[in-house]
Amino acid sequence: MSRLDSFIRRLIAQRDCLDWATREIATRSGPVLEIGLGNGRTYDHLRTRLPDRDIFVFERAVAAHPDCIPPADRLVLGDVTVTLRTIQLPAPAVLAHLDVGSGDEVANASLAAILSELLPPLLAPGALVLADRALCHANLRSRELPTTVARGRYFIFENKP
């Protein structure tokens, strides 16, 4: 598969998982966490699907399209392995989306292990976590993907009650 085809499949998987998750949490209150702003595409998708929801975005440095930059009071800048330890959310999050992978699989595995530990304390019972890589924590149980998403292309977890 070409890199272009792989990229397109990843974006479709992302969109399908985000659409599924936003429907799942529609009646629940609580903020959303977007970990990794990148160019802002998934943040823009989330704010379109959840227009009245607080979305807290974590990013090392902003490089997003100008129309896709969150308000300053919901943009948390710095190393996510530090900022997630110090953030004070108004309520536990009901959804977290992680898109933080790079081309370095060793670094990706290390970051996934750290995020696996840092996320659960910030989540409400039953909160959903969508990720571009597998996470491993006793409180996070794997959920089925939408039927349009190939196994291993994206990951969905639920924070155990």
Q: How confident is the model over 116-135, as pLDDT tens digits?
A: 999 999 999 999 999 999 99
- Sign of the alpha-carbon dihedral angle for 117, 107, 99, 77: positive
Range of the domain at 122: 3-159
pLDDT attached to residue 90? 97
What is the number of domains present in the chain?
A: 1
Share of the chain above pLDDT 70, in %: 100
Report phi then psi at 141, rounded to 5.
Answer: -110, 140
Question: Is pLDDT above 90 for 44?
Answer: yes
The answer to whether residues 66 and 77 touch, using CB atoms and an 8 Å cutoff, is: no
pLDDT at residue number 116 = 95
**How many other CB atoms sit within 10 Å of the CB of residue 122?**
19
pLDDT of residue 100: 85
The two structure tokens encoding residue 78: 């710095």
- Inform me whether the pLDDT recorded for 102 exceeds 80: no
Instruction: Specify the CATH number for the domain of residue 76.
Output: 3.40.50.150
Which tokens go with 149? 């998403």
